[in-house]
Every structure is written in structure tokens, then in C-alpha cells.
Chains A and B, each alone.
Chain A
Amino acid sequence: MKTMLSITKREVYGYFATPVAYVFIVIFLIMSGLFTFYMGSFYERGQADLTSFFDWHPWLYLFLIPAISMRLWAEERRNGTIELLMTLPISVSQAVLGKFLAAWIFTAISLILTFPMWITVNYLGDPDNGTIIASYLGSLLMAGGYLAIGSCISSLTKNQVIAFVVTIAVCFLFTVSGMPIVLNFFSSWTPQALLDTIASFSFISNFTDLTQGVIDIRNIIYFLSLIIGALTLNVISINSRKGM
């Protein structure tokens, strides 16, 4: 545990020692603001809630999270530091978890910095703050899902650009799997049960459930098992490099 946290600490420090952290946070805040006010019609809706803010999170994450996750392992492999890391007395799972946790903490920090949005809506009206907290938690869980997929994909290549593009593609499938664009493709030739399964893998539908203010254990289990599954594949991928 302590070993894992040493790795996490080093990684978080790493984000803030380079411009990556500041660029990411600024872009994240600007884009989430633009989406909320312009595309989400925050004022025009005339309701004191953050629906128009949270609704855009899956799409924001789809492009921004792969930018964080792409470097997690690809950079270590390109720079050769993976040899330094993996010959320290740590297990592969400690390294994978430690790095993932650091990236997750970093996204949590970015998310927390959107608090002016919460202040604004409380100033303008009387929102259901319970729902807002549930939505923030849901958003963080969803970010974890994107990050875990990205971390796993990053471990398969030395090339950060490949990691970025492939992660976007895979995350896109997870994001839209509940939408007509995917379901229509399957609906003509698959049974309803399978169709429901595919739809239940959707980030958007699982996330939307949480933003309704109902903390359903199924949605939480969905995101957590997705994270655990992707990180397990990540460990397997790193381990298999030893045999090569």
C-alpha cells in the first residue's frame, strides 16, 4: 500500500512539474464552461440545476481523458524508465494501480475546480444539491472508466499518438453503445436480451442514471468492474512483456 502510494505521489508530482497539468485543467474548465452555457443553454433552460453541465461530461472526457492516459505507460516504455520502475521491488499491480490512482486524482482535482459552476447555480436558484453531489461522484466514476481503458491501451504501445487515437476509438464505443447509432446496427439480427446487454454497457446511460440523483448500486458496480477489468488487462499486458 505504502509502495503504491509512493508511485502515486511521484506521478501526481510529475503532472504538476510539467505544463501538462495546467494546460489540461485550463482547457477542461474552458470547454466545460462553453458546453454548459452555449451548447447546453444553461440560462435559457431557466432551471436551477447542473444538467446542462454534466450532460456534456461524457463527450469532454472522450477527448480529454485519452490525453492524460496515453502517456501512462507508453511514455515509460519510450523513455526506458519502465526498466527502472519494474526492477524496483514493486509488483506490477502496485505500479498499475499507483499510476491509475494518480491519474484519477488528477482528474478529480480538475473536476473539483469546476466548483464555480456549483456556486453559480446556487446563487441563481435553489438546486437539489444532493443530485449535484451524486452527479459529481458519477462523473468521477465515469472518468475512472475512461482512464482505466486508456491506461490499458497505453501499455500496449510505445507510441503515445497511437495510444491516444485507439483509446478515443474504444472509449467512443463504450460511450455510445446505448445510442441508436449502435443499437440500430445490432437490432435487426440480435435478440432483445443481447441488445439490452450492449445498451447496458453504455457510459452515457449509466452516468445519466447517476445524474438523476438516484445512486443506484448497479451503475456504481458497472463503473467499478469496468475499471477493475481494464486494469487487470493492463497488468497482464505489462507482465507479458517480460516473456518477450
Chain B
Amino acid sequence: MSVLIEVDRLTKSFGPFIAVDDISFSLKRGEVLGFLGPNGAGKTTTMRMITGFLSPTKGNISVCGHDVSEYPIEIKEKIGYVPEGAPLYGEMTVMNFLKFIANIRKIPKNKINDSIHNVIKKLGLELVLYQQVETLSKGYKRRVGLSQAIIHDPDVLILDEPTDGLDPNQKHEVRKLIKEMASTKAIIISTHILEEVDAVCTRAMIIAKGRMIVDKSPKDLLIGSPEGASLDDVFRTLTIGNPGDNL
């Protein structure tokens, strides 16, 4: 299995505030990494650095063998990214939006229609193709956000809270989709829903206050905890420490 993402001693500070503190990991094809952590832990900042939206204060990132700061365009071609909240151009129709992304992603002319139809089918967008994005429900918006991230069949997929705000059925659909794609890609998803990690991830990484605390498989997370402890308990213990300390 080839290593697709290599993060080496990554640090990001905003003024005196250290958002990401010395995080290192690597991710191979076929792995699904779940970023777990409380809000403000540094998950989004880390993802923004991997996708080249922010530049690191210190440390290196390489994606598919290219250094992110040296080859920003090349690595962006390899990545599909759903930013936090899945921002979209509201005034466009779904179809025009997908065409725009396909053109920017330099999908060859003879394949554009196939790629677009492929994601439309995968995400069930048939009924809303000619509606303006801003008129869609939250679930549809999120699906449009996902469709732009996978339209070019990227090697690396980075999803910032992809199921946030979706109803249980929609969550299930998105997780199914991630699982279907998992074997051919390296995927990072961030979430604070622990069952999601259990459901789709092969690895779980807990981040708190910018530091990586744990990097294990979801099952191993429970090992060493008291009998009958849930992932929630483990999460709370790891991110707050002894609950008494913070009160």
C-alpha cells in the first residue's frame, strides 16, 4: 500500500495562539482516518493546511509524493475537499456548478458528461439538477458539496464534518458512500460524532488543544479502559483528562 499523505511535525500558530502543535502522521491508500476532538481542537486547521488553503508555520506536508508548499496546484488536483459547512456558490444551479468544477478540474471534454452523471447518480441529485443551490435543503447542499469533491475521482479525500447537520438517513447514506470509496483512496474525515468513527474509520486520531493524543484503530481505543466504557467515555477522559480537573 502506498503512502498518500505524509504530515511531518506540523505546527500552526495564529499570533500567540497555537492551533496545531507538532502533529505527525502518514496515511496509506485504503485507510480512512477519523479526526476526533472537541471544537477548536485544530482539526479544521490541520485539514486546511493539507489542502493548501493555509500554509503551516512549521513542518512539512506531502500529498502523493509532492510537497504541498512547493507544488500547490499539483496536489490540489489530487485532493477532493469538502470544507467545513460545505460552502457553495448559491446562485448557480447544481448542473452548472458541477460543470464549472469539472472544467476547473480539467476533466477531458469527452469525459465530462460521464463524470458528472456518475456523481449525480452516486449522490442522488437527479431531482435537483436545475435548481439553484441556495434553494436546496441542507441535506442536498451537503450532497452537492460531496459531489464536487469526488467528481475527479481523487486519490485523497478530505471531508470536514461531512455529516454535520444531516438527518440519520442522510448520515447513513454518506457513510455508505465513504465506505464504498475507501479501498481506492486515502480519506480523512473530521467529526465529533464518535459512532461515525466506529462506523467508517480504520484509524482514529484524537486531537485536543492542537496536540495529537491518540492514534489507534477505533477498537483499540477501548482497550485499557474500564469494563463497559463507551467511546464517549474514552473521548471525555482523553480530551478533558480527569473530569474533576476542569470543574
Show the binding face of A for B, using Cβ within 8 Å: 2-3, 6-7, 9-10, 13-14, 17-18, 79-81, 83-84, 86-91, 242-244
Nearest CB to that of B158 among chain A residues? A87
Binding stretch for chain A, among B31-39, B88-96, B214-222, B224-232 = B88-96
Cβ contact within 8 Å between A90 and B104: yes
Residues of B within 8 Å of A83, CB to CB, are 48, 53, 83-84, 87
| Chain A residue nearest in CB terms to B90 | A79
Give B92-117 interface residues, CB cut-off 8 Å to A: 92, 96, 100-101, 103-106
Instruction: Given A89-B76, A244-B14, answer yes or no on A84-B88 (Cβ-Cβ < 8 Å).
Output: yes
* CB-CB nearest 5 A-B residue pairs: A80-B87, A89-B76, A83-B83, A6-B103, A17-B91
A88 touches B105 (CB 8 A): yes
With A13-B96, A90-B104, A243-B55 given, can you name 20 additional A-B contacts, CB distance below 8 Å? A3-B104, A6-B100, A6-B104, A7-B104, A10-B89, A13-B92, A17-B92, A80-B87, A84-B89, A84-B148, A87-B79, A87-B81, A88-B104, A89-B73, A89-B74, A89-B76, A89-B77, A89-B104, A242-B54, A243-B54
Dominant secondary structure at the A interface: helix
Closest to B55 in A: A242
Q: Is B147 an interface residue (CB 8 A)?
A: no
Instruction: Tell me the B residues contacting A by CB distance below 8 Å.
Output: 14, 48, 51-55, 72-74, 76-77, 79, 81, 83-85, 87-92, 96, 100-101, 103-106, 132, 148
Which residues of chain A are near B84, meaning CB under 8 Å? Answer: 80, 83
11 A-B pairs with CB atoms under 8 Å apart are: A3-B104, A7-B104, A10-B89, A13-B96, A14-B92, A79-B90, A80-B83, A83-B83, A86-B53, A90-B76, A91-B73
A242 vs B56: C-alpha distance in the bound complex, in angstroms? 9
User: Smallest distance from the beta carbon of B246 to chain A beta carbons, Å?
Assistant: 30
Whether A242 lies near B53 (C-beta < 8 A) is: yes
Residues in A neighbouring B106, C-beta threshold 8 A: 3, 89
The docked-state distance in angstroms from the alpha carbon of A91 to that of B71 is 11
Measured between beta carbons, the chain B residues less than 8 angstroms from A13 are: 92, 96
Taking the closest CB of chain B, its distance from the CB of A95, in whole angstroms, is 10
